[in-house]
C-alpha cells in the first residue's frame, strides 16, 4: 500500500500540465477536472480498479510499477524545473523575510522545493510561505493561506511567527492519529463575496474515492476515516475548528460535527473534533456535503488515519537525555528560585522581604493531584512547573488540548520533553510513600524532601544531580563537646544574645530568624541541661542537623523544631542546616554558613538569656506557629525527636514537662489541645498563638496579626490594640526578657535587670495589657510554668522556686509554678477567676508529661509554649 499514498502525495503537487503529461504517457483521457485526472491516475494503482474497469482491461500490461515510475519522473522534472525559479525569486521577494537565513543557505531544500497550495495550483508566485515542519517544508501561496484577522484593502497581512501548512497543523492537532491517506485533499472553504451577515448558508459538495484496499484497511479497528476542518487563521494553530452551523452529510447520512450549539463560537480553550465517517463510507465513489454559515475561511479534508495508543504517543516524547540538557534545566530552576531573591534584595525598603534559603516546590502533578512519576514539560515554557507525563498524555488523548496546565500556552506534542532536573528527583522518590509531595530547593538547585519518608536519606540535601551533599559532621562534633561541657557546668550562667529577625515568607507566614550573637557556648544556662541533652541527641541523629529537623515537617512543625534548635544553640551547638525558609529558624552564630538569611532580617530582636534560651525558643515557636497558621501542625513524628525524648526525661522535670506537652499535642490534633484544656478563653502563652491559629478565620489572616504581635512582644512597637495573640506575645516577651537576665543587649526595653526586670517590665507597658488579657490567657501562664523549669528560673528571682524547677522532679515543679502563678492572679482580679482553670491545666499538663514519658517516641513538641509561665512568675 505504500505505492498509493506516495503517488498520491506526488500527484497532489502536480499541476494540470503534469497530470496531463502522465495521462498521456499512460494513454488515458485527459479531460475533466483536476481531481478527476488525479483519480484516474490513482485508479491505475489499485488492483481492483484495474480489473474492474472494462476499458482498461486491455491495458493491464501497464503495471503499477510503471505508473508509479511515470509519476515519479514527472514529479522530479517538475522540481528541477521549479528550483531555479525559486532561487531567483526568493532573494528579490520581500515576502520571504519570514524565511530563516539558515534555510536559505540550505541548497538541498531549494532543490527539493515543493509547492502545494490550497488553491490547487502549484506554480510559484512572488509571495510564498513555507511550512516549518522539517519533513514537510512545503511552499504555499502567501495570499491563499495567510488570512488577515480583518479584511484589509491592499495591505498584505503580517506573516505569522510560525507557519505550518494545513496538513502539518492537523497532524499536530491530534498526535493520536496518523494520516496514512487522503481520499479528499484539503479544500479551502471561503465565504462568498457577501461577507456581511452570517445568514448565508454555503454548501460545498465533493466526491471522493475509496479503493478496496482502503476499505479493507478501514475495517481494522485502529484505522478510521475522518473528516477534519481547521480555521485557517486560528489563534490556536493546532486544533480542529468547524464553522458555525456546520452541517455535514456523507453519502446522505447526517454527521454530527461538533457538540456545541451551532451558533456558539469555539472558545480559545475549546477543541473541536473530526467526525469519523468510516461506517457511512463505502468502496468507490462517496459523496460529502458540508454546509455552514460562517464568514471565516476554513479548510477541510478527509483522511485515512491510524490510531496511536497512549504508549505509542509516549514513545514520541524524546528520552530524558535527548529533550534538554540537564544544565539547561538546572539553569531554569536556579533562575526560578534564585531570581526572586535578587529582586528582593534590590528592593531594600520592603519590610516584607522574603528571606529564603530554599523554596518549597510541590511535586504534585497539577492534573492528577498525585506526585509526578515522570516529569514532563513543554520545552519553551519558562516556568519550572512540570506535570506527570503519562497523565498528561492520557488526558490529552481525549481533550486534544496540548496546553501547558501551568501557563496555559498552547503547544503540540513535539514540544514536550522530560525535565531532566525534576525527573531525577521524582525518579528517586518513586519508592516513597504518597505523602511525600514537597521538596525544598535551594537557589543552587540542591534539594531535599520536605516530608519525612521512610527513606531518610532523601530528606538530606542533595545536589542537583541527585547525589547527596556532603554532611557537616565536622562542624557538629565540636559543638557536641561544648554541649557536654555545658551539662557539666550545670547551672553556669551563659548569656547568649539572640537576634530575632522576623520576616515574612512567601506564604505570608512570619518567619523568625535568629542570627544570634550567641555568646560562646561555654556560658551555658542553668536548667538548660535538658536542652543540651537534646542537642546532643539531635546531632547524632542526623548527619546534617537541619536535615533531621526539617524533614517532612510542616512549616509549623518546623518552627517548633526550631525552638528546640534554639535551645541547643544556646548550648552552643551550631546548626547550619536550619533552613531559613521556614518560619522560625534560629541561627546561632556558630551556624553561620546559613548566614545570608540573617542579614535580610527586617526586625532584629535581641535577647540575651541565661535560661532564656528556652523561653526564646518558645516564642519563636509561637511566631512560627502563626506563620504556619494554616497548618495545624504538630502531628509529625521525627525519629530524631523520639531519640531526644528519652534523654530529656533523664535530665529533669522541665524537660519532661515539655515532653508532656508535646505528647499531648501529638496525640491530639496538636494546637487544638491547648485550647481545649484551657477552655475557650484560655490561651496559654504559646498556646495563645496556637489558639489563634486554630481559629479558622485566623488561619489566613492570622499571619499579619501574629507578626505584629511578635514585634510588639519584643517591644519594638507598642500597640494597645493588638489582638490577644499579641498580648500573649508580650507576655512571652516579658518572660523572655526576664529570663534573659539583663543579657538583652538589643532589646530596646532592655530588661537588664535580672529577675526583677520582669516585675518592672510588666507594670511598665504590657502590664495593662497583661491584666486585660489575663482573663483570657491566664491558663497559659500556669501551663507554661509547669512545663518549664527554665521559666521558673527566670521568675526565680521573685519566687525562688526556680531552683526547684531546676530540680529534676516534675511534681515539685508543678507545685511551685502554680504558686507562682497565683500571685499574678492576685495582681489581676481577672486572673483570679482563671485560677481554677489554670490549676486544671497544670494537672493536665502533668498527666501529659507522664504520658510523654511512657511514649517517648511521640514527637515533638511544642515546648516553646511553656515560656509564658515565666511571665506569670514575674508578677
Partner 1 sequence: MTSSSAASRKALSKIACSRLQKELVEWEVNPPTGFKHKVTDNLQRWIIEVVGAPGTLYESEKYQLQVDFPEHYPMEAPQVIFLHPAPLHPHIYSNGHICLDILYDSWSPAMTVSSVCISILSMLSSSTAKQRPADNDRYVKNCRNGRSPKETRWWFHDDKV
**Binding stretches for partner 1 (CB under 8 A):** 258-262, 264-265, 267-269, 366-370, 385, 391, 394-396, 398-399, 401, 403, 405-406, 408, 630-631, 696-697, 699-701
Residue 202 CB, shortest distance to partner 1, in Å, is 21
| CB nearer to partner 1: pick between 408 and 470 | 408
In the sheet with 438-441, reading across from the earlier edge strand, the strands are 359-362, 438-441, 447-449
Residue 262 CB, shortest distance to partner 1, in Å, is 8
Residue 261 CB, shortest distance to partner 1, in Å, is 5
Q: What does DSSP assign to residue 597?
A: G
- Of the candidates 594, 546, 597, 596, which has an alpha carbon nearest to the alpha carbon of residue 568? 546
| CB nearer to partner 1: pick between 501 and 625 | 625
| CB nearer to partner 1: pick between 157 and 262 | 262
| CB nearer to partner 1: pick between 87 and 406 | 406
Angle at 665 between CA 664 and CA 669, to 5 degrees: 120
Helices (H), 93-106: 101-105
| CB nearer to partner 1: pick between 280 and 395 | 395
Residue 648, Cβ neighbours under 10 Å: how many? 29
CA distances from 873 to 107, 180, 279, 544, 781 (A): 91, 86, 88, 38, 8
CA distances from 583 to 275, 303, 509, 665 (A): 56, 60, 7, 19
Residue 358 CB, shortest distance to partner 1, in Å, is 22
- Of the candidates 562, 615, 606, which has an alpha carbon nearest to the alpha carbon of residue 805? 615
Residue 244 CB, shortest distance to partner 1, in Å, is 11
| CB nearer to partner 1: pick between 269 and 522 | 269
- Of the candidates 37, 34, 305, 67, which has an alpha carbon nearest to the alpha carbon of residue 181? 305
Residue 369 CB, shortest distance to partner 1, in Å, is 4
Residue 373 CB, shortest distance to partner 1, in Å, is 14
Element (H, E) at 873: helix 868-874
Interatomic CA distance for residues 208 and 185, integer angstroms = 9
- Of the candidates 221, 220, 249, 246, which has an alpha carbon nearest to the alpha carbon of residue 231? 246
| CB nearer to partner 1: pick between 158 and 701 | 701
Residue 299 CB, shortest distance to partner 1, in Å, is 23
Helices (H), 14-165: 16-26, 34-45, 47-52, 64-92, 101-105, 107-111, 142-145
Residue 258 CB, shortest distance to partner 1, in Å, is 8
| Cell numbers placing 570 | 544556646
| CB nearer to partner 1: pick between 33 and 398 | 398
Helices (H), 514-611: 529-541, 545-550, 555-571
| CB nearer to partner 1: pick between 369 and 520 | 369
Residue 307, Cβ neighbours under 10 Å: how many? 15
Sign of CA dihedral 806, 807, 812, 816: negative
Sign of CA dihedral 186, 191, 197, 199: negative
Q: What is the 3-state secondary structure (H, E, C) of 387-453?
A: EEHHHHHHHHHHHCCCECCCCCCECCHHHEEECHHHHHHHHHCCCCCCCCCEEEECCCCCEEECCCC
Residue 40 CB, shortest distance to partner 1, in Å, is 41
Residue 435 CB, shortest distance to partner 1, in Å, is 11
| CB nearer to partner 1: pick between 255 and 828 | 255
Residue 350 CB, shortest distance to partner 1, in Å, is 24
| CB nearer to partner 1: pick between 166 and 692 | 692
| CB nearer to partner 1: pick between 156 and 269 | 269
| Cell numbers placing 140 | 504555499
For residues 92, 94, 98 and 102, what is the CA-based torsion angle, rounded to 10 degrees? 30
Residue 113, Cβ neighbours under 10 Å: how many? 19
Residue 794 CB, shortest distance to partner 1, in Å, is 37
| CB nearer to partner 1: pick between 160 and 262 | 262
Residue 143, Cβ neighbours under 10 Å: how many? 16
| CB nearer to partner 1: pick between 82 and 385 | 385
Q: Is the distance from CB of 562 to CB of 617 less than 8 angstroms?
A: yes
| CB nearer to partner 1: pick between 88 and 264 | 264
Residue 705 CB, shortest distance to partner 1, in Å, is 14
Residue 390 CB, shortest distance to partner 1, in Å, is 10
| CB nearer to partner 1: pick between 197 and 261 | 261
Interatomic CA distance for residues 734 and 615, integer angstroms = 10
Residue 395 CB, shortest distance to partner 1, in Å, is 5
Residue 361 CB, shortest distance to partner 1, in Å, is 14
Helices (H), 668-809: 673-678, 685-694, 696-701, 703-714, 724-740, 755-764, 766-777, 779-787, 789-799, 801-806
Q: Is the distance from CB of 616 to CB of 566 less than 8 angstroms?
A: yes
Q: Is the distance from CB of 550 to CB of 579 less than 8 angstroms?
A: yes
| CB nearer to partner 1: pick between 12 and 367 | 367
- Of the candidates 352, 636, 643, 308, which has an alpha carbon nearest to the alpha carbon of residue 501? 352
Residue 635 CB, shortest distance to partner 1, in Å, is 11
Interatomic CA distance for residues 818 and 832, integer angstroms = 12
| Buried-state track 75-96, b at ≥16 Cβ within 10 A, e below 16 | beebbeebbeebeebbeebebb
| Cell numbers placing 61 | 500490461
Amino acid at each position: 500500500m505504500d505505492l498509493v499514498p506516495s503517488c498520491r502525495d506526488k500527484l497532489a503537487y502536480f499541476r494540470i500540465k503534469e497530470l496531463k503529461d502522465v495521462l498521456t504517457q499512460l494513454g488515458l483521457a485527459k479531460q475533466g477536472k483536476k481531481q478527476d485526472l488525479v483519480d484516474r491516475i490513482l485508479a491505475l494503482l489499485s488492483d481492483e480498479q484495474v480489473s474492474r474497469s472494462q476499458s482498461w482491461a486491455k491495458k493491464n500490461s501497464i503495471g503499477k510499477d510503471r505508473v508509479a515510475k511515470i509519476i515519479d519522473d514527472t514529479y522530479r522534472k517538475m522540481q528541477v524545473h521549479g528550483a531555479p525559479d525559486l532561487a531567483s525569486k526568493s532573494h528579490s521577494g520581500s515576502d520571504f523575510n519570514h524565511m530563516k537565513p539558515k534555510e536559505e543557505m540550505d541548497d538541498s531544500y531549494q532543490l527539493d522545493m515543493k509547492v502545494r497550495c490550497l488553491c490547487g495550483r502549484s506554480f510559484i508566485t512572488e509571495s510564498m510561505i513555507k511550512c516549518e515542519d522539517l519533513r514537510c517544508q512545503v511552499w504555499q501561496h502567501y495570499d491563499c493561506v495567510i488570512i488577515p484577522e480583518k479584511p484589509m484593502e491592499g495591505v498584505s497581512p503580517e506573516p505569522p511567527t510560525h507557519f505550518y501548512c494545513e496538513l502539518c497543523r492537523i497532524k499536530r492537532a491530534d498526535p493520536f492519529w496518523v494520516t496514512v491517506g487522503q481520499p479528499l485533499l484539503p479544500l479551502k472553504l471561503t465565504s462568498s463575496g457577501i461577507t456581511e451577515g452570517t445568514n448565508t448558508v454555503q454548501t460545498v459538495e465533493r466526491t471522493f474515492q475509496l479503493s478496496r484496499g482502503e476499505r479493507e484497511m478501514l475495517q481494522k479497528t485502529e484505522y478510521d476515516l475522518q473528516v477534519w476542518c481547521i480555521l485557517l487563521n486560528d489563534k490556536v494553530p493546532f486544533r480542529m475548528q468547524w464553522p458555525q452551523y456546520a452541517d455535514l452529510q456523507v453519502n446522505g447520512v447526517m454527521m454530527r460535527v461538533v457538540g456545541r450549539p451551532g451558533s456558539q463560537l469555539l472558545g480559545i480553550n475549546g477543541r473541536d473534533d473530526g467526525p469519523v465517517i468510516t461506517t457511512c463510507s463505502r468502496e468507490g465513489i462517496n459523496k460529502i456535503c458540508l454546509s455552514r454559515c460562517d464568514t471565516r475561511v476554513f479548510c477541510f479534508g478527509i483522511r485515512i488515519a491510524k490510531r496511536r495508543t497512549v504508549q505509542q504517543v509516549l514513545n514520541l516524547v524524546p528520552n530524558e537525555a535527548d529533550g534538554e540538557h540537564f544544565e539547561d534545566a538546572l539553569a531554569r530552576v536556579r533562575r526560578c528560585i534564585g531570581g526572586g531573591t535578587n529582586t528582593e534584595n534590590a528592593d531594600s525598603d520592603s519590610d516584607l522581604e522574603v528571606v529564603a534559603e530554599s523554596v518549597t516546590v510541590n511535586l504534585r502533578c497539577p492534573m492528577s493531584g498525585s506526585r509526578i512519576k515522570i516529569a514532563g514539560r513543554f520545552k519553551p515554557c519558562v516556568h519550572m512547573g512540570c506535570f506527570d507525563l503519562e497523565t498528561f498524555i492520557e488526558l490529552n488523548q481525549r481533550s486534544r488540548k496540548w496546553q501547558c496546565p501551568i501557563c496555559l500556552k498552547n503547544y503540540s506534542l513535539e514540544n514536550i520533553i522530560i525535565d531532566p532536573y525534576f525527573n531525577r528527583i521524582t525518579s528517586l522518590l518513586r519508592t516513597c510513600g504518597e505523602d511525600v509531595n514537597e521538596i525544598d530547593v535551594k537557589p543552587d538547585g540542591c534539594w531535599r524532601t520536605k516530608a519525612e519518608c521512610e527513606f531518610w536519606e532523601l530528606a538530606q540535601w542533595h545536589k542537583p544531580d541527585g547525589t547527596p551533599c556532603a554532611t557537616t559532621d565536622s562542624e557538629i562534633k565540636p559543638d557536641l563537646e561544648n554541649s557536654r561541657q555545658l551539662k557539666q557546668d550545670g547551672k553556669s550562667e551563659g548569656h547568649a544574645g539572640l537576634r530575632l529577625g522576623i520576616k515574612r515568607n512567601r506564604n505570608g507566614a512570619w518567619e523568625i530568624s535568629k542570627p544570634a550573637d550567641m555568646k560562646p557556648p561555654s556560658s551555658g544556662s542553668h536548667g538548660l541541661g535538658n536542652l543540651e541533652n537534646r542537642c546532643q541527641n539531635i546531632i547524632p541523629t542526623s548527619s546534617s542537623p537541619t536535615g533531621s529537623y526539617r524533614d517532612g515537617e510542616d512549616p509549623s512543625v518546623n518552627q517548633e523544631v526550631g525552638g528546640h534548635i534554639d535551645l541547643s544553640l544556646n548550648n552552643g551547638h551550631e546548626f547550619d542546616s536550619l533552613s531559613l525558609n521556614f518560619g522560625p529558624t534560629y541561627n546561632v552564630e556558630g551556624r553561620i554558613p546559613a548566614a545570608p538569611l540573617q542579614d535580610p532580617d527586617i526586625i532584629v530582636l535581641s535577647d540575651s538569656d541565661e535560661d532564656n534560651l528556652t523561653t526564646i525558643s518558645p516564642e519563636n515557636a509561637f511566631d512560627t506557629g502563626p506563620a504556619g497558621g494554616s497548618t495545624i501542625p504538630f502531628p509529625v513524628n521525627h525519629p530524631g525527636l523520639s531519640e531526644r525524648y528519652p534523654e530529656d526525661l533523664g535530665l529533669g522535670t522541665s524537660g519532661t514537662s515539655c515532653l508532656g506537652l508535646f505528647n499531648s499535642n501529638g496525640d491530639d490534633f496538636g494546637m487544638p489541645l491547648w485550647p481545649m484544656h484551657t477552655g475557650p478563653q484560655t490561651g496559654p502563652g504559646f498556646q495563645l498563638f496556637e489558639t489563634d491559629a486554630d481559629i479558622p478565620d485566623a488561619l489566613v489572616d492570622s499571619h499579619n496579626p501574629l507578626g505584629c504581635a511578635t514585634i510588639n512582644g519584643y517591644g519594638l512597637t507598642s500597640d494597645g490594640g493588638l489582638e490577644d495573640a499579641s498580648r500573649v506575645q508580650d507576655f512571652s516577651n516579658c518572660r523572655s526578657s526576664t529570663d534573659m537576665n539583663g543579657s538583652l543587649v538589643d532589646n530596646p526595653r532592655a530588661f537588664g535587670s535580672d529577675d526583677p526586670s520582669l516585675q518592672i517590665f510588666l507594670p511598665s507597658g504590657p502590664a495593662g495589657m497583661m491584666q486585660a488579657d489575663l482573663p483570657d490567657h491566664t491558663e497559659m501562664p500556669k501551663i507554661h510554668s509547669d512545663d518549664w523549669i527554665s521559666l521558673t528560673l527566670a521568675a526565680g528571682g521573685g519566687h525562688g522556686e526556680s531552683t526547684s524547677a531546676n530540680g529534676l522532679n516534675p511534681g515539685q515543679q508543678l507545685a511551685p509554678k502554680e504558686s507562682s502563678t497565683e500571685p499574678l492572679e492576685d495582681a489581676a482580679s481577672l486572673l483570679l477567676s482563671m485560677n481554677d482553670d489554670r490549676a486544671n491545666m497544670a494537672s493536665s499538663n502533668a498527666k501529659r508529661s507522664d504520658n510523654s514519658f511512657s511514649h517517648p517516641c511521640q514527637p515533638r513538641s511544642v515546648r516553646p509554649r511553656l515560656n509564658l509561665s515565666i511571665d506569670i512568675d514575674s508578677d
